[in-house]
Structure 1
Amino acid sequence: MTATDFKEQSGIIERMKGLINSPEFEQTFASLSASLPKSKQFLLKMELKRLAQPCNYYIDLRGHVDGDVKPFVYLGKTHHLDDTARQIFENGVNDYGQYTIGVYEEVMNADNNFRVRHRKETEERVRNALAQRRNGLQLPDSTNTQENTEPEEETNNPNKLVQFGYYISRCEERMNYGIEVEVRHADQRFSAMTTDLSVGGCKLKIPAGRQIVVGDTLNLALRGLEKEFTLNLPKGLTYQVLEVDEQDKYNYLRLKRLNPEQEGSFNQFLQSFIHGNKRRYKVNLDNTTDAVITKGYEQYYLPRINTLPVYLSVVDGQVSSRFCLTSDYNKSVWHYFLDEQQLSVLSHVLSAKRLKLLLSQTSTERSSILYCFTHAAKGKLYFYAATDLELAESTALREMFFGFGAGKPSWRVFHLNLLKTHVSQSINEFAIPGAVNTQKPFPLIAGMLKDMHYIAALTEISSAEHRRYYSAYTYQTDKLAALNKFGLSKALQAKPCEAIAIHYINLRAESRYLYKTTVLVRNKPEQTPISSFSRDFSTGGLQIEFSQPVDFQKGDILLFELPDLQKITNKHQLSGLPYEVMAVSKSRTIMNLKIAQTDYHVGKAFFQQLIQSNRSKLTVAEETPKYPGLSDALRNMYVKTLNNFAVFIHRKGLRHDVNVLGRGAQPNAIHKLLQLSQQSSKSLDFSLLTKEHVLTQEVAHFLKQMKRHDPSKQFELYIRVTPLDNGQLEFSSHYDFEFKQAEDLQIFILDAIEHHVLFSFKLYVSRTGKLDSEYIAKEIGYISVYAIHKAKTLEEELWHVEGVADGVETSAEIVARYNAAACTAQQQARMAILARDK
């Protein structure tokens, strides 16, 4: 018999795992299988014994599953599993007590296995074909009421634009329900159909061509309901048009009911009718599913932002930098602005005078380019900073700042964007109808954020190879004292600014476990060891603490000895273990280390076995935030105001796609250019960004080599716009990696600056990790109640995201880099193009 023959007894098999060799096996099995025939009991017992047999098969899922496959060592054997398979393997070993045939088959039959998917899809197609042959051709229902379960029109264009921080929540449930209505608009009267219905509104499907716009008032007579119920609505119901979605044959109107309190008895009837029929006709889940998609992409994007959001407090006209929201990818910006005492100088950099200059800009995006360098003297670090707006006042001063500053290794260029915010934007929002849709921060957190009115978004856009273009500017050395006006004062004490890490699920490659044991540390084998103790460990690293400060630096290779742990193992020699220093605390007493790159590491093998054998006894290390809830509040404030754009890369099998683009509250220049360049207003065309899959192919190449914790890969995109004599615009896009020589790129950019209008953007591509499903758990749970297939479809889309690119505009910087004299003319030309309508 095959495993499928025991489907009905799967519960018994699950219950009997791990009891095969136990004394209570016979008694438990007899009680669970009492209702089965003796022959079936015998076969089931044989099946249980087969599943419990030890297994020596290697499992290699590379190319067989839709997931990120990684090496997984168990008892000295290396399997290749994705996260799903690893969880099944570990649970199975825990149930059976060892690696068995049952564990092997559970792993190989996981739902994300391509072979299993293909089999299930084939079975589903066969069942549908047989059902159609049995039932014959189905005639459509001719009644007025009808169930709307699928959209009537689907677009062939899969491209999607996701607006971060934008979730439409309803105060009541809306049911997919189609009824005939009579529409009265001005002098017009015509029939239409609803596609969904609630007490406070509805969505209406009308023939295309009707002259109805947003803000119009309509009167509806519910003819379909009147045929079945006595409604007593002689004057009908009055609605206001909130949105018009124009399609080829039909227009869809989103309507809000006006003065619903005047028909109290009808409201009660309709509410009861929806509650009693929502299982039959299905609740409209559009808003909730949109929110899941938006929040899911946010959770991929935010932990990988290269921009550093700096939260500015304004009290009595005084501006100070209070918090920074840090990620693994923007911490370098945070560290750059720390002085010799490890104190942040951002309050000086983002001074009130500099912010007022930004606020005086007439454009919707208040941004500039910030140029910085440092000078060390007498043990102190002096910062120099200037924006392009300040340097534009004097050509000689600008050339001096560029020429002198770029000659220093500390030269950095940042994109500075000033965003307006408010404490009300710190609220967590949910998109579940009829429920509490917000979660306010704790009073302590709200009090800390009440004076936050601006966010300064700093993105480093410089690179080492670009310094030579700035350092080529000449200047008079005897006039360098003029640069002192851009120096940050040491006399004024900077107000404290704290770095708050983005709260996210544990993004480490593996769990860490709290454990204290003696660790002896040497630089070289012949040296006297320094005693320390471990704070936590994993298979790939350790965190240790010394009683006195040490002089070890990041990158040092140290030799470890574990005398206490040596007492519990004879198989592994726990001395001379090489570990690399990854980080040292300010007090120089705590170090984070990882195993040195060797083909085989005894320490890793030992800790793998130790964790495997004692997982239930070990305590997982979890980081406790200093201010619980603050990270989420800051995250909400940034996501609802950000101006960057995000590009998401999906992987399905061996194929990569770029078809999802993220935007903030205000569209970036890239969104406007995509809108101006596309041929049809009813579709999203990303070809200007993807350039006939050039970007997709290049990104896919790097993603295959990248690990989740690797630094981001940078690309520059150049979009050249040419105004034609007939008023039209001609677009062409190019990536920096398409130019073989730096000279070729320079020729292209100089020509674009002189004869065209040049836009440039920088993309920071990184590999994604796990999706933080807790953030969308409420919405997914609500959707699952009414449409489990939709919940699975949403999760399927999100789990296919393999990479994300954080994008920022660098147009002003690239013109200054190659031809600073053309900055003003190019900026005016860019603004004129962005002000155009499609």
Structure 2
Amino acid sequence: MPNLQLTPLIDQLKLVALDDDFEKHFSSLTATLDGPSKFKVRSEVRRLTSPCARTLDLRKRVDGECVRFEHRGRVHYLDDVARDIFERGLKEYNGVFTQDTYERIMQAENNYRVMYEQQKAEQIGTASSSASSDTETEFEQFKLGFYPYRDEERMNYTVEVQVEPFGEQPCRAVTNNISQGGLRVRVDRTQMPISNGQRVKVYFTGFAKEFTLDPSVPIHYIITEVLSANKRTYISLKRAEDDKNTEFDAFISRFISGYKRRYKVNTDNTEIALVNKAHEQFYLPRMSRLTLFLKAHTRELICKYVLTTENNEDALAHWYTETNELAIGALLNKRRSQFMINKLQRNESCELTILTFNITAKGKVYFYSALVEELEKNDLWDTFTAFAAQKSSFQAFRISLSSVKPESAWRPQAVPQHINLPAREQPFSADIQQALAAVDYVATLDNVTDMVRPLCGQDYDKDELSKLRAFVHPPSLPQRSQAIKLEFVDLRNEQRYHLRSRCRVRSGSIIRDGMVLDISNQGLRVQVDEPIPGENRSEMRVSFTQLKQHYKNEPLTDIQYQIVNADDSHTTFNLKLDEDGSSQATAHFLTRFIQEKRAQLPRIYENTSLKGFELGLRNLYCDAASAVPLFFYQSKRQQHYLGRVGIPPHVTDWSRLLQLSSKVLPKGQLTELLNHSDIFEQWMSWLTRVDRSESPHKNLLIFQLGWDEAHRRTIEMTHFDLEKLSLDDVEHCVTQALLNDTIIAVNVELSRTGRPDRQFVEAEMQYLAAYAQYKVDRVEQQLDSVFGVADSYSVTSLIMQSLQLSESLRETAVKRLQEWLPA
């Protein structure tokens, strides 16, 4: 297809393509084009003006009544719009039904497919549009842990029905999609009163015209949602539980099974779940916070598990005893546990700041911790902080507590259960369910050491050190805590495929016969008949003896590989091709071989990292989260922008600010601050210099919220580098802002992302590809554009507390914030 710059020229030439003087017009209009462009234009004009042999049947495909229309012995079914386009095409092309006419008819605005695509484009921004849009594009929001699931397949299908509310006259409606237990219809709302929860009868009059279905037998439904869009009203209906009609059930089941390939299954929920889960996998393994999973025992919180990530292991390393047991659970002693549980029961915000350190004496590790309130009450702030800040183990955490329901740990993949997929996750086993049932609360510990350190005392009285014994943890652990690693399922460069093929392996002077187990373009897994020595990164040469019999001229003998890892018995090895030139010839062959044999080579699906228990803890965290992940994209034109924001279930002033409607605060103001400020340029510059193994880059953002003379909301932002934080600068910024306005303070921890974790969403990918490959392509393009992720969370109360502002000033700031952020 020619590029868009040639489209106006093609539109002119196709109208004179059948004229005798076409060549004259062509030469005149294409005089400035080069040879290849002329060829493209001529080819496209010929294609569009060629006769079309297709038969048009637009019944159930357009918003209009279709009637029989005959042309040159061929019968078409067209609505008024299509007939008008058809007849105009005949006039333009001398009575010939051309490919151009056909394409214009199929792209008419009343075509359901076109309408659906336009509606989807309005609801969600596609990755392709995001990639080509400028940085003023509004960021998209999604709910953490939101994976809409449908137990039944919902097919896009249009058929006439009659909807009859009880006590009202029936009215005509048209289905939008249909499933075994539900229905979505389009109706003129003025025809009848409708509301959520209302019971209605539905008569499938359209089906009765084509199938042996009694149109006088109603099916009972309950209205679940009424939505107005594109000047139309859509009603979502759920089958009434007491409606039993086995004949209709069997018909719908057969109908959807037989026609779903033609009319397409509605996969919107699968696409939403896929995108949400894939973005969360960029974010969750890069969190710096410590997440504790707690069991309530006689009003004391016992830490059962700690979720570890690649960015929080250093913080957790300070919490191991001399016997290598995890002691972080002792932070929440009985008094602190009761205090936090009581606040939750009163529906109050439950945030505390706690300072910790440890010392080693006579071969034992002693842990100390104190709440800010405890130090202020006992007048020990300077002594505790001055002594603790000298220790390498000194840490300050902001603790938040949330209650969770263990049953929400299991979330099925967004694929109907009856669909068989290799990557299907099974419900948790009884052992895993029992382990998860012990979790009643989740505590998140945000590391705010960099913010608290400037506030620490500079000197202490040695005579007062003995008073710190009040904050030492008891020597015996209340109960052992277990560290659970949250990591990526698969960060492979390439897809691997099963292949059983004999080979010969040589390591040094030792030669063994073996079997190829699986292959990729650059990798290999082999199993030898007897153990063979070989260290990681050492050389191993492989000859593909069985493949060589079929590909005699290919470089398949004595290929140099490098050992990545081996099993304990040293009989199974994961290998990767050496990067020298001779090995690349083999890589090219394997690439061709996989492409040719892809249909016969089963793909490998693994779920080895996020096993059931780790997955359950991951899902429970999503229910307890209060932090906001920010996702930064890089377009094909190397443009960077904030494209997506995850909204947590627990509301904070920061998440409320991000969700403000344009009626309250034009989003352009907030987008301008986050996408066009100098801090954004610093973030993008840092991301381009580092890789995903780099520790997060940390900043403190202070948003000043106020009103202008016309009483319109205003917002300004000041940022600080936490590694170079100056308490005087922060205090000046905050006190000046609080003279007439209020503030929101946010910690931002920025990390570079790696490749998307496609294996975690493999089931959704497979299902989506079966019905809408273009959606898979769109999602993959969006995921490949993710450039960086920032973990952001509110520290407003911590800033107020740390600066020791007067109680009246803090109350005034809170009151102003409540007025500025509408409920």
- Which band: TM-score by shorter chain? 0.5 to 0.7
Q: Paired residue for 1:771, among 745, 756, 778?
A: 756
Cα-to-partner distance string for 1:159-199 (whole Å, 9 max, x where unaligned): 32222322222121111112344444576865543321112
| Equivalent pairs, count | 632
Q: Paired residue for 1:429, among 379, 404, 412?
A: 412
Task: List runs of 5+ in structure 2 lacking aligned partners.
Answer: 1-36, 53-97, 126-136, 496-504, 509-531, 540-575, 590-605
2:175 is the counterpart of 1:194: yes
Work out the CA distance in 2 between the residues paired with 1:128 and 1:818: 73
| Amino acid paired to 1:136 | T
User: Is the 2:648–2:655 Cα contact (8 Å) retained in structure 1?
Assistant: no
User: Is the 1:182–1:222 Cα contact (8 Å) retained in structure 2?
Assistant: yes
Secondary structure (helix, strand or coil) at the match of 2:625 reads coil
1:647–1:220: structure 2 CA closer, same or farther, 3 Å change rule? same
User: Is the 1:200–1:260 Cα contact (8 Å) retained in structure 2?
Assistant: no
Q: Paired residue for 2:632, among 649, 661, 675?
A: 649
2:792 is the counterpart of 1:807: yes
What does 1:676-755 correspond to in 2, within 5 Å? 676=660, 678-679=662-663, 687=671, 690-692=674-676, 694=678, 696-722=680-706, 729-736=713-720, 742=726, 743-755=728-740
Q: Paired residue for 1:458, among 426, 441, 445?
A: 445
2:401 is the counterpart of 1:418: yes
Secondary structure (helix, strand or coil) at the match of 2:449 reads coil
Cα-to-partner distance string for 1:15-42 (whole Å, 9 max, x where unaligned): xxxxxxxxxxxxxxxxxxxxxxxxxxxx
| Amino acid paired to 1:352 | K
Cα-to-partner distance string for 1:277-306 (whole Å, 9 max, x where unaligned): 212211101111111111111221122111
User: Is the 1:722–1:757 Cα contact (8 Å) retained in structure 2?
Assistant: yes
TM-score with structure 1 setting the length:
0.65
2:275 is the counterpart of 1:290: no
Q: Paired residue for 1:467, among 438, 444, 453?
A: 453
User: Is the 1:716–1:763 Cα contact (8 Å) retained in structure 2?
Assistant: yes
Identity of aligned residues (%): 24
In structure 2, what is the equivalent of residue 151 of structure 1?
117
Work out the CA distance in 1 between the residues paired with 2:664 and 2:657: 14
TM-aligned CA deviation for residue 707 of structure 1: 0.9
Work out the CA distance in 2 between the residues paired with 1:751 and 1:252: 51
| Amino acid paired to 2:100 | N
Work out the CA distance in 2 between the residues paired with 1:786 and 1:627: 27
User: Is the 1:329–1:711 Cα contact (8 Å) retained in structure 2?
Assistant: yes
2:480 is the counterpart of 1:496: yes
| Amino acid paired to 2:239 | R
TM-aligned CA deviation for residue 476 of structure 1: 7.0
Work out the CA distance in 2 between the residues paired with 1:726 and 1:785: 55
| Amino acid paired to 1:279 | R
2:325 is the counterpart of 1:343: yes
Work out the CA distance in 1 between the residues paired with 2:297 and 2:138: 47
User: Is the 1:144–1:178 Cα contact (8 Å) retained in structure 2?
Assistant: no
Q: Paired residue for 2:244, among 262, 267, 280?
A: 262
| Amino acid paired to 1:801 | V
Secondary structure (helix, strand or coil) at the match of 1:429 reads coil
User: Is the 2:656–2:821 Cα contact (8 Å) retained in structure 1?
Assistant: no
User: Is the 2:381–2:457 Cα contact (8 Å) retained in structure 1?
Assistant: no
| Amino acid paired to 1:721 | L
1:263–1:713: structure 2 CA closer, same or farther, 3 Å change rule? same
Work out the CA distance in 2 between the residues paired with 1:410 and 1:183: 69
Secondary structure (helix, strand or coil) at the match of 1:471 reads coil
Work out the CA distance in 2 between the residues paired with 1:663 and 1:759: 17
TM-aligned CA deviation for residue 646 of structure 1: 0.8
Secondary structure (helix, strand or coil) at the match of 1:195 reads strand
Once the two structures are overlaid, the 10-residue window that deviates more, 662-671 or 197-206, is 662-671
Cα-to-partner distance string for 1:525-556 (whole Å, 9 max, x where unaligned): xxxxxxxx99843389xxxxxxxxxxxxxxxx
1:258–1:510: structure 2 CA closer, same or farther, 3 Å change rule? closer
1:685–1:254: structure 2 CA closer, same or farther, 3 Å change rule? farther
Q: Paired residue for 1:272, among 239, 254, 268?
A: 254
Once the two structures are overlaid, the 10-residue window that deviates more, 727-736 or 252-261, is 727-736
Cα-to-partner distance string for 1:101-127 (whole Å, 9 max, x where unaligned): xxxxxxxxxxxxxxxxx9xx9999999
Cα-to-partner distance string for 1:126-151 (whole Å, 9 max, x where unaligned): 99967897332644799999667833
1:223–1:689: structure 2 CA closer, same or farther, 3 Å change rule? farther
TM-score with structure 2 setting the length:
0.66
| Amino acid paired to 2:780 | E
Once the two structures are overlaid, the 10-residue window that deviates more, 126-135 or 256-265, is 126-135
1:606–1:242: structure 2 CA closer, same or farther, 3 Å change rule? closer
Work out the CA distance in 1 between the residues paired with 2:43 and 2:719: 44
TM-aligned CA deviation for residue 781 of structure 1: 0.9
Secondary structure (helix, strand or coil) at the match of 1:676 reads coil
Once the two structures are overlaid, the 10-residue window that deviates more, 227-236 or 357-366, is 227-236
| Amino acid paired to 2:312 | N
Work out the CA distance in 2 between the residues paired with 1:717 and 1:509: 36
Cα-to-partner distance string for 1:790-833 (whole Å, 9 max, x where unaligned): 22212221122121112222222222232354596278448835
In structure 2, what is the equivalent of residue 659 of structure 1?
643
Secondary structure (helix, strand or coil) at the match of 1:701 reads helix
1:254–1:461: structure 2 CA closer, same or farther, 3 Å change rule? farther
2:154 is the counterpart of 1:171: no
Task: List runs of 5+ in structure 1 lacking aligned partners.
Answer: 1-117, 518-532, 541-603, 617-622
| Amino acid paired to 1:712 | P
Work out the CA distance in 1 between the residues paired with 2:478 and 2:42: 68
1:534–1:296: structure 2 CA closer, same or farther, 3 Å change rule? same
TM-aligned CA deviation for residue 734 of structure 1: 3.2
| Amino acid paired to 1:373 | F
Work out the CA distance in 2 between the residues paired with 1:683 and 1:255: 35
| Amino acid paired to 1:458 | L
Work out the CA distance in 1 between the residues paired with 2:735 and 2:485: 41
What does 1:148-547 correspond to in 2, within 5 Å? 150-153=116-119, 154-155=121-122, 159-184=139-164, 191-206=172-187, 213-229=195-211, 231-234=213-216, 236-247=218-229, 249-259=231-241, 261-315=243-297, 319-361=301-343, 362-363=346-347, 365-388=349-372, 390=374, 394=377, 396-398=379-381, 401-402=384-385, 405-406=388-389, 408-427=391-410, 429-435=412-418, 439-463=426-450, 467-471=453-457, 479=464, 481-490=466-475, 492-505=476-489, 507=491, 536-538=535-537
Secondary structure (helix, strand or coil) at the match of 1:215 reads coil
1:741–1:642: structure 2 CA closer, same or farther, 3 Å change rule? closer
| Amino acid paired to 1:775 | F
Work out the CA distance in 1 between the residues paired with 2:44 and 2:704: 49
Work out the CA distance in 1 between the residues paired with 2:780 and 2:342: 45
* Structure having greater relative contact order (Cα 8 Å, sep ≥ 6): 2
User: Is the 2:205–2:215 Cα contact (8 Å) retained in structure 1?
Assistant: no
User: Is the 2:703–2:716 Cα contact (8 Å) retained in structure 1?
Assistant: yes
